[in-house]
Amino acid sequence: MDHFDYQQGEIYVEGVPVTAIAEQVGTPFYCYSTETLVRHYNVFSDVFRGHDFLLCYALKANSNQAIIKSLANLGSGADVVSEGELRRALKAGIAAEKIVYSGVAKTQEEMAFALEKGILQFNIESEPELHQLSRVADGMGKVAAIAFRINPDVDARTHAKISTGKSENKFGIPWTSARAIYAKAAALPGIRVQGVDLHIGSQLTDLAPFEEAFGRIVTLIEELRADGHEISVLDLGGGLGIPYDQAAEKPPLPLEYGEMVKRIVGHLGCKIIIEPGRLLVGNAGILVSKVIFLKYGEKRKFLIIDAAMNDLIRPSMYEAYHEIVAVKDTGGPLSAYDVVGPVCETGDTFAVRRDLPGLETGDLVAIRSAGAYGAVMSSTYNTRRLIPEILVKGTEYAIVRPRPSYDDIIGLDKMPKWLD
């Protein structure tokens, strides 16, 4: 459920008509609903009420400060994968002791910064990373609390580019090698083993891969405890999918996922960490764009809009489906369009032969389920300006990232003295 509904013949975001925002800020722009964020957070966290549980929002999905702050106010922790994301989480008010640091390539400088701040846990993905963290922590006179990210060799049954839990993926420690590396970690200075971590992929629409992976982790934790390790934290990552295509995708509900988690791992007595990103923000955002031209090809009709692949790259990168709707419901007959942007790439295509009502130059369309991996993956390719982000709460809205000027973008380039 989200809060983007037709009222009086046009889409409202909570209590604000999309057309009113477009008139002020221009197009294209991202628009987020606070009430949707709150609902998604509460639905997920309520499943684990009464358990030792921490929801750590995965900032990589959408790292706008206003989004992070909205979730921080609800009690969320953070899952970060860079020093920049760690700084964003701290600035938005998330306490360091509620932050987990993931990622395959943490530098010494990033490790030192996180140690200085006192984060909850480092999720370690390789033996070289373990030894580097030991050297950094010991040199600072600190102790790093760690979990190893275990690769359980489970097929997540999702897109190949967002599958992370198979043996050929770059992520984590092979689960068959886990006991050996935990033994090494226990003997190192500056290291305190406290947990086990895994994350098998993103946009999963079936519980079976989760169940298989979690079952392997239960066995591993029992073996690690028998080896003398005090495993008190179980980080299950994220990955639960959202319905981009309402007709074709029926991912499990958070309640079903939560009940499965409690059934499989609840008896371990661990603090459970879940790291949803897309699940919280994906359907809390839309991308609003304006029709520039209608172009009639020999066999296709093209709807050319002012948003482009640099604004939302998921369709180009992942062949991802996003529902596209007219902001004003004309109620007219449908026609098949290829919805494309203005960038000079064939891949700048949002949809092929998508049925839409009759649209004309100047009409607005909304690309739904764009709150995750939209703005955060955008670029200035073709010297296109980054687009604004808008946050709505009730009948109010605010620009939470403004559109830069062309001078702002071009001014980032610096001329060498021999060209001045």
The C-alpha torsion from 223 through 225 and 228 to 230, rounded to 10°, is 150
Nearest to 101, CA basis, from 92, 375, 180, 88: 88
Residue with tokens 């970690």: 185
CA pair distance 386, 278, nearest whole angstrom: 21
Whether the pLDDT of residue 257 is over 70: the answer is: yes
Nearest to 103 by CA among 237, 262, 243: 237
Give the span between the Cα atoms of 411 and 420, in whole angstroms: 14
Q: Which residues of 219-251 are buried (b: 16+ CB within 10 A; e: fewer)?
A: ebbeebeeeebebebbbbbbbbbbebeeeeeeb
Domain regions of the chain by residue span: 4-31+282-410, 34-280
CA distance 183 to 15: 56
CA distance readout (Å), 149 to 81, 171, 270, 327: 13, 8, 16, 43
Q: Which of 202, 220, 227, 203 is nearest to 265 (CA)?
A: 220
**CA separation for the pair 334, 332 (Å, rounded):** 7
Please tell me the class of the 4-31+282-410 domain.
mainly beta
- Count, residues in the chain: 420
Cis omega (within 30 of 0) on the bond before 342?
A: no
Confidence band, pLDDT 50/70/90 cuts, at residue 1? low
- Helix residue spans in 105-177 (DSSP H): 108-117, 127-140
DSSP state letter for 50: T
Give yes or no for residue 160 having a pLDDT over 60.
no
Two domains, one topology: 4-31+282-410 and 34-280: no
Secondary structure E strands in 278-340: 285-296, 301-305, 324-326, 334-340
197-231 confidence digits (pLDDT tens):
998 887 888 899 899 999 999 999 999 999 999 99
**Higher-confidence residue: 250 or 157?**
250
Spatial distance between the Cα atoms of 22 and 41, rounded to a whole number of angstroms: 28
User: pLDDT by residue (tens digit) across 273-326?
Assistant: 999 999 999 999 999 999 999 999 888 899 999 999 999 999 999 899 999 999
Beta strands in 228-382 (DSSP E): 233-235, 271-274, 285-296, 301-305, 324-326, 334-340, 349-357, 364-367
Give the burial class of 214: count Cβ atoms within 10 A of its Cβ; 0-12 exposed, 13-18 middle, 19 or more buried: buried
Summarize pLDDT for 64-118 with one digit per residue, the tens.
999 999 999 999 999 999 999 999 999 999 999 999 999 999 999 999 999 999 9
Q: Are 280 and 57 in contact (CB under 8 A)?
A: yes
Q: What is the DSSP letter of 397?
A: E
Residue 344 known to be catalytic:
yes
pLDDT of residue 170: 54
Fold of the domain spanning 34-280: TIM Barrel (3.20.20)
> What confidence tens digit (pLDDT) does each residue in 90-101 have?
999 999 999 999
- What's the rounded Cα separation, in Å, for the pair 290 and 262? 46
- Going by their DSSP bridges, the two strands 4-7 and 16-17 should be labelled as unpaired
| Tens digits of residue pLDDT in 333-382 | 899 999 999 999 999 999 999 999 989 999 999 999 999 999 999 999 99
Contact of 326 with 303, CB cutoff 8 Å: no
Q: Which residues contact 12 (CB under 8 A, 6 or more apart)?
A: 4, 5, 6, 18
Q: What are the pLDDT digits (tens) for 124-141?
A: 999 999 999 999 999 999
Task: Say what percent of the chain tops pLDDT 70.
Answer: 96
Residue 159: pLDDT band with limits 50, 70, 90? very low
State the Cα–Cα distance between residues 361 and 205, nearest whole angstrom.
37
- Binned at pLDDT 50, 70 and 90, residue 155 comes out as low
**pLDDT(163) > 70:** no
Mean pLDDT of 21-41: 98
